[in-house]
Structure 1
Amino acid sequence: MKLVQRFFLSVLMLGIFATSYAQETTEIVFHKSHEVKKQKAPFSDVVQAGNLFFLAGQIGMDHSTRTMVEGGIKGETVQVIKNIEAVLAQHDMKLENVVKCTVILSTMDDFGAFNEVYSKFFTKKPARTTFAASGLARNAKIEIEVVAVR
């Protein structure tokens, strides 16, 4: 085998070993919800894999009253972001730690109004995917899930 081919084969093998090792040694933690009423839910608020934190989607529910907030898409977007901030705070993070957002709107007609609110909070501009889907939980107008890095 030529020297260059051996070199690239060695680099490839090292990459496969490193990836395999990282997957085997990364601890995965399914964190308990900081909200007592959500601790029996069939999902985790946060799953941690190394320094990555995968947050479950949040809707515009005021968790102290367990009711959806008023104010349409803008009011719900503010509440969703407050809910995300509360979950992040439990893990000593802020919105600045967010690297990816997935946004689900009940209708793309709300995109402009949502974006007005969103851009005031997510000033670092994390990567984002936005789409519309009908039938969000609690008849919500918006749901956002995020990935954060600590």
Structure 2
Amino acid sequence: MKTKLLIFMSLLFIGFHSCEGSDSEIIFHQSHEPSRANVLFSDAVETDNQLFLTGQIGKDHKKGTLVPGGIEAETKQVIENIIDVLKYHNLSLDQVVKCTVILKDINDFKAFNSVYSQYFTKKPARTTFAAAGLAGGASIEIDVIAAK
């Protein structure tokens, strides 16, 4: 009985001991884009082996305006913005495991999806919904989670 109790206590100690050091470091990354240096949020947040990107809209960051051309043009710009952030962190779209897509108009779903499917060939998990309005007058916003 003593042996079983000692084994149990040892396993219990090992379990508690392994949990002690499990606090993950969280890194809040500023944007690599000079025009976004003073925004009130992180461009990406890193913890363990994951990178959480802030939502991107179809804004050309060099010009400071939404790209013209409607939902397809904005979708392409959104994904190019995501690619830029991922590349800055030595990642690619192939490492994206989850996308959240917000459309201003759910009727744009088919047009958005035709562009999206050209880029996300690994088919990460995805949630898509519509909202009454998006920041900057955008038609679409996408945020992603990537595995490092």
Specify the TM-score bucket, using the shorter chain as the normaliser.
Answer: 0.7 to 0.9
- Tell me the residue number matched to 1:36: 34
Matches within 5 A, 1:17-28: 21-22=21-22, 24=23, 26-28=24-26
Structure label with greater radius of gyration: 2
Pairing partner for 1:93 from 91, 94, 110: 91
- Superposed CA RMSD in Å reads 2.0
TM-score (norm 2): 0.87
In structure 1, distance between residues paired with 2:38 and 2:116: 30
- Tell me the residue number matched to 2:102: 104
Q: Can you list the C-alpha shifts for 1:47-106, whole angstroms capped at 9, x where unaligned?
A: 000210000000000001001001111000000000000000100011001000000000
- Tell me the residue number matched to 1:45: 43
Identity of aligned residues (%): 53
Task: Give 3-state SS (helix, strand or coil) of 2:117's partner.
Answer: helix
1:132 lines up with 2:121 in the alignment:
no
Q: Which runs of 5+ in 1 are unaligned?
A: none
- Tell me the residue number matched to 1:71: 69
Pairing partner for 1:80 from 78, 93, 117: 78
Pairing partner for 1:55 from 53, 56, 69: 53
In structure 2, distance between residues paired with 1:99 and 1:135: 26
In structure 2, distance between residues paired with 1:81 and 1:126: 14
Q: Can you list the C-alpha shifts for 1:89-140, whole angstroms capped at 9, x where unaligned?
A: 1000110010000000001100011001000100000000000001201110
Structure 1 segments (4+ residues) deviating >3 Å: 16-21
